[in-house]
Structure formats: C-alpha cells, structure tokens
Amino acid sequence: MDTGLTVTHPLTGEEVPVWVANYVLMSYGSGAVMAVPAHDERDYEFAVKYDLPIKQVINTPEGYFDELKADAKANDSEVNLAYTERNTLVNSGEFDGLDFEQAFEAMLAKLEPKELAKKKIQYRLRDWGVSRQRYWGCPIPMINCEHCGTVPVEEQDLPVVLPTDVVPDGRGNPLKNIPEFVNTTCPKCGNPAERETDTFDTFVESSWYYARFC
C-alpha cells in the first residue's frame, strides 16, 4: 500500500515513495528497507506488481537480459530481470564505474560525515560459549594442569565418560564433588591434575542429531 509519504534519498536527494508491504526481513526487524528492484528478486516482483520504476544501477554482463528472457520463454515461466550479482555501478552519477568495494567505501565517505551511515561488521555467530557448569552434557575432554595449562585428553583415553552415580544437590556442578572424576594425571608432565568439569551445552549435542538418525 502506498502511504503517500516520501523520504529523501540520502545520496541523490531524490524523493522516494514509502510503501508498506506484508513481508518481513528478519535482519531488518521493524526498520525500513530501501528497495532496489533492479537488483533484488522480491523487490523486482513488488515493483512490477505495483508499477513502480525499476532503475538499473549495477552493470550486467553482455547479453544477460536477452538470455534471461530466452530462458523464461523456453520454460514458459515469468521473467525476473533482477540482477543480483556484484558488478560495477551504472546510472549512479559520481559512483559510476566503481566496483562493489570501491562503491561501498565511496558511499560511506559521503554518508558518514552527515551521520547517515556507519561502517559495521555484523556477525551471526561470533565467540561461541559452549561450556556449562552442570553434570549432564558431553564432557569437555580437557585436563587442567598447574604446570602445562589446559591439555587435551590423549586420543586413546577418549571418550571421557561421565560418572553415573551422581546425585545433584542443587548446588553448582556435582561433577566438582566427585574426586574419582576430577583427579587425574596430566598427559604432558605426569603430575596430578584436574579434569575439566564443565560440559558442552545442548547446541553441541543438537549439532549431531543427523549422525544419530543415520
């Protein structure tokens, strides 16, 4: 639905119409999306349906559109002319001819002083804290030695098996109170050392479901 509102394009100063639509992009949450119908398949379909202008701003390889149209004709399917690959810019004024990286930096340089943009790296998963202070879960096969630090359990001693006679008393990790489990020797220097009592969290286990089903 066309809201009748417009916003100002931060680079060109053009007035751009604001539409509301019934699809959601998780990464945007409740924010506004700048549609680029020539280079996004959904935006392309939206623009065609509502008769909005489709302006190509990324160059396509020679004959790209002809091939797409021929394919669509051969398969009797709808043609989606959105070009979603990276290439040099066209119809973009001062940014024409720049490749993806160059255009990224050039636009950032324009927008940053106006406080309209900020360079940011987004992570889906960064450091992954997989240890838990509890009994259940896969033991982390590490030994903490006063002299050598954290030492992996030798391969022939794997797997580290949890004791089965544990009675959780609701106070912390019960593994800590089982000397037969905790006390061991360092595989590197042979001195007394302590077994890691944290266990892996459920993400680790659920990452291996496929193996169980096999």
One residue of 9, 55, 86, 147 binding Zn ion per CB under 5 A: 147
For position 186 contacting Zn ion by CB under 5 A, the verdict is yes
Q: Any residues with CB less than 8 A from the CB of 110 and at least 6 apart, and which?
A: 11
Q: Which residue has the tokens 């266990």?
A: 199
Rg (CA), the chain: 29
One residue of 148, 178, 182, 204 binding Zn ion per CB under 5 A: 148
User: Contact, 12 vs 93, CB < 8 A?
Assistant: yes
Stretch that binds Zn ion, among 91-99, 102-110, 146-154, 177-185 (CB under 5 A): 146-154
Please name which of 179, 204, 209 lies closest in space to residue 193, comparing C-alpha atoms.
179
Q: Which residue has the tokens 């993806």?
A: 100
Count of residues binding Zn ion (CB under 5 A)? 6
Stretch that binds Zn ion, among 11-19, 84-92, 152-160, 180-188 (CB under 5 A): 180-188
One residue of 80, 188, 196, 204 binding Zn ion per CB under 5 A: 188
Q: Which two structure tokens, joined as six digits, stand for 69? A: 């149209």
Backbone angles phi, psi at 46, to 5 degrees: -60, -45
Stretch that binds Zn ion, among 9-17, 106-114, 119-127, 189-197 (CB under 5 A): 189-197
For position 145 contacting Zn ion by CB under 5 A, the verdict is yes
What minimum distance in Å lies between the beta carbon of 162 and Zn ion? 23
Stretch that binds Zn ion, among 21-29, 69-77, 131-139, 140-148 (CB under 5 A): 140-148
Write out the binding residues for Zn ion, residues 72-111 only, by CB under 5 A: none
Cα angle 134, 136, 142; round to 5: 70
Closer residue to Zn ion (CB): 56 or 144:
144
Closer residue to Zn ion (CB): 116 or 189:
189
Q: Name the H helices within 81-130.
A: 100-111
Establish whether the linkage from the previous residue to 159 is cis, with ω within 30° of 0. yes
* Contacting residues toward Zn ion, per CB under 5 A: 145, 147-148, 186, 188-189
